[in-house]
Amino acid sequence: MPLIDLRKTSGSPGSFSSDSEVILSDGSDTLVSATAEKGVLDTGGESGSSGILRKSSLRELSLNNFRNYHSLDFEFSAPITVIIGQNGRGKTNLIEAIYLTSLSKSWRTKDQNLIGEGGQGYKVQADWVEHKISVEYHPDTRKVIKRSGIEIKPGQLVGLSPLVLFEPSSLNLFIMGPSYRRGYLDQTLCQISSHYLVKLNKYNKVMRQRNQALKQQLSQDLIFAYNLQLVEYGWFIYEQRTRLIDYYNQNLSHWYQEISGQKEDIAIDYLSNLGSDPDQYLLNLEKSFSKDIVRQSTSIGIHHDDILVKIDDQEVRDYASRGESRTVVLAMKQVELIYIEEVLGKNAILLLDDVVSELDYLRRKQLVAMLGKQQSIITTTEAISDLPDSSTVFSL
């Protein structure tokens, strides 16, 4: 497999003109556009019902004034691309740029922090096999996203270039609070369903309106209208999340055992206070009025839901070692890949950012054996053994 030295391509940033921040989904009042209006899981496009997977591979990435890159053109010609470099060389910045062209935002920071030193904005362009996506940002105007030269809204990225990311903070799934775990589920579902994205944004907007009404001490009759909307949007979100959890529970143990070589079973419980059906959900909202008006917030709803991940009936967050936790997340990412592929009918790409080196030899070997079923882009500080001959290794 070839080893290519990229150190000459990175440099100090210059400047150029760009445009503004628009967020795919952050629970804000802004509702993004979507083509889907009906269906339990409407992707707003083709689904995987034909059984034929369409390729969604990345061919080239171009960066201008992005992070530590003044100008860079990076070609992905192999199914597996490994980028080796010491910390601080910009490995994660490449992964971040790819992520940006799929989901319209960084998972790490705000757009203004992505501009290279001394620059006035940034531009990232990804040449995917089906289309080109460009993202330009300038802090004085707005972010501009284009698909093959035509400007689109962030919500129109849904399903175009799906990906699955595993990076060090992914282990926060077992450390952070419930909102982090809800966000993990929501991100997966928002990638495959514009309908879900719209419902989630609408739910968050109505919940804030209800909370404001509670602060204003409005009557229970007036707040009832908000309750009806919360049930409409919330129950839909609940159903999609629990169906995703059901899919995890059908497949997660298999992939955990494949990676770890162990026989433990993995299960995920979905915890919710909605009730058994939409009518019970509405009744619970009505019963909570007295408590809610004192607290000035909504105590019943999908914004309080959580998941509990267990190995052989023991909670991962309390009993699992760091290696076991990492393996659980890797298995979850593998299931996520398959789920996205089944729903959208196209391959998602796998991004592994600086996580392979912390696996023990057996787990690393098992993970490498799984690669190649989809395009995989891996960053690491050290060489990875047993890579397929079709892999390309770059040095930063």
Asked whether residue 365 falls in the same domain as residue 335, the answer is no
Strand partners, 200: none
Q: Is residue 388 part of a domain?
A: yes
Q: Is residue 10 part of a domain?
A: yes
Q: Is residue 30 part of a domain?
A: no
Question: What does the pLDDT read at residue 54?
Answer: 59
Asked whether residue 208 falls in the same domain as residue 305, the answer is yes
d(CA 280, CA 207): 18
On whether the CB atoms of residues 57 and 81 are closer than 8 A, the answer is no
Question: What does the pLDDT read at residue 371?
Answer: 80
Asked whether residue 320 falls in the same domain as residue 375, the answer is no
Task: Give the strand order in the sheet containing 306-311.
Answer: 266-271, 306-311, 314-315
Asked whether residue 138 falls in the same domain as residue 244, the answer is no
Tokens for 316? 């991962």
Using CA atoms, how far residue 138 sits from 42, 122, 123, in Å, is 33, 7, 9
| Residue closest to 207 by CA, chosen among 271, 107, 288, 280 | 288
Q: What are phi and psi of 59, to 5 degrees?
A: -100, -35
Using CA atoms, how far residue 240 sits from 33, 41, 272, 298, in Å, is 20, 7, 13, 21
Question: What does the pLDDT read at residue 289?
Answer: 96
Q: Of 343, 368, 384, at which residue does a domain stop?
A: 343
* H-helix segments, the chain: 91-103, 178-192, 194-215, 220-260, 278-287, 289-295, 316-319, 322-344, 361-370
CA 339 to chain centre: 13
Q: Is residue 394 part of a domain?
A: yes
On whether the CB atoms of residues 200 and 190 are closer than 8 A, the answer is yes
d(CA 390, CA 95): 21
Give the number of other Cβ atoms within 10 Å of residue 240's Cβ: 22
Amino acid identity, position 379: T
Question: What does the pLDDT read at residue 44?
Answer: 41
SS3 (DSSP) at 198: helix
Tokens for 22? 């628009």
Asked whether residue 250 falls in the same domain as residue 138, the answer is no
d(CA 353, CA 96): 9
Tokens for 339? 């789920």
Q: 10-residue block means of pLDDT along the chain (396 residues)? A: 46 28 32 30 43 70 95 91 91 95 92 92 94 94 93 89 91 93 95 93 97 95 96 98 97 93 94 97 97 96 97 93 89 94 90 84 82 87 85 90
CA 273 to chain centre: 25
Q: Of 310, 328, 343, at which residue does a domain stop?
A: 343
Q: Is residue 39 part of a domain?
A: no
Asked whether residue 173 falls in the same domain as residue 134, the answer is no
d(CA 183, CA 149): 31
Question: What does the pLDDT read at residue 330?
Answer: 92
Asked whether residue 290 falls in the same domain as residue 384, the answer is no
List all residues 6 or more positions away from 240 whose beta carbon is below 8 Å from its beta carbon.
40, 41, 189, 193, 196
Asked whether residue 253 falls in the same domain as residue 338, the answer is yes
Q: Is residue 43 part of a domain?
A: no
Q: 49 exposed, middle or buried (CB, 10 Å; 0-12, 13-18, 19+)?
A: exposed
Asked whether residue 149 falls in the same domain as residue 61, the answer is yes
Query: What domain count does the chain have?
Result: 2
Asked whether residue 180 falls in the same domain as residue 322, the answer is yes
Asked whether residue 351 falls in the same domain as residue 216, the answer is no
Asked whether residue 215 falls in the same domain as residue 296, the answer is yes
Domain of 259, CATH number, reads 1.20.1050.90
- Which residue range is the domain that position 19 belongs to? 1-23+51-162+346-396
User: How many residues does the structure list for the chain?
Assistant: 396
CA atoms 254, 258, 263, 268: torsion sign: negative
Strand partners, 163: 349
On whether the CB atoms of residues 340 and 192 are closer than 8 A, the answer is yes
